[in-house]
Amino acid sequence: MLCKEIMEIIEKDYPPGSALEWDNVGLLAGRDKKEVGRIYIALDATDQVVREAAAWRADMLITHHPLIFGGMKRITDRDFIGRRLLALIQNDISYYAMHTNYDVCGMAELAGKKMGLKSPEVLEVTQGGEEGSLGIGQIGDVLQVMSLKECARKVKEAFGLSNVKVFGDLEGKASRIAICPGSGKSVIGEAIRKGADVLITGDIGHHEGIDSVAQGMAIIDAGHYGVEHIFIEDMKDYLRERLAGVEIAGASVAHPFQIV
């Protein structure tokens, strides 16, 4: 199957037009006419991921976060992004990224299901249509009211985490939950406006955390990677269902930092 044919399948459910305007999604390096028999999936195109994809003899690498965000004036081995791109091209690996289009069309719903949200709605609407609104994150009630401490435990279980950072009273209630995989600083105001008791997200700093608590909403910071690594298994399952004869493999879950 050609790379461009795989892209067409993906983009029926995750159209590039659903991505936010600042984003960079789609085929970022390589050939769209590349014959693809093996696809490797990861959250980021790190040095290790590129090496693993090449060693596995992948024909295509699909990541959530784009390796290229801004404009590039040169591609050389003098910087880490250039070295990764050169390695992909030298190994004839077509590289495809699906970032906020996946957030909008898949990640929000998947994360909400993992937390068992009842009657969920979009947290931050980015586009509307005849079939309803799409956007970043979800918000909804839980079937049974729990404490913030119990909610933190549920997050750890749902996303396979050893720890999370919590801003707020651990004995406070968590009945209406907002979740925004990745970096959620920008949705704090919307989550408060929509009545969330707690926001589950990543990349929360000191001031965002204490200011949110002061406004009546707790935050569980599960880490940017901690909530988004679900992309890997989800896309593996998605592609296996649709691409007969194509081998699919994914990078192991490997958190980018350690707590010691």
Distance CA 156, CA 221 (A): 11
Per-residue pLDDT of 189-231, as tens digits, reads 999 999 999 999 999 999 999 999 999 999 999 999 999 999 9
pLDDT of the residue at 127: 87
pLDDT of the residue at 129: 61
**Amino acid (one-letter) located at 191:** A
User: Could you tell me if 10 and 231 are in contact, meaning their C-beta atoms sit under 8 angstroms apart?
Assistant: no
Between residues 70 and 27, the one the model is more confident about: 27
Query: 197: which 2 tokens?
Result: 């008791």
| CA dihedral (150, 159, 177, 165) positive or negative | positive
Strands 38-42 and 26-29: unpaired
Q: How many CB atoms lie within 10 A of CB 84?
A: 23
Q: Does residue 130 surpass a pLDDT of 60?
A: no
Please give, one letter per residue, the 3-state secondary structure of 203-226.
CCCHHHHHHHHHCCCEEEECCHHH
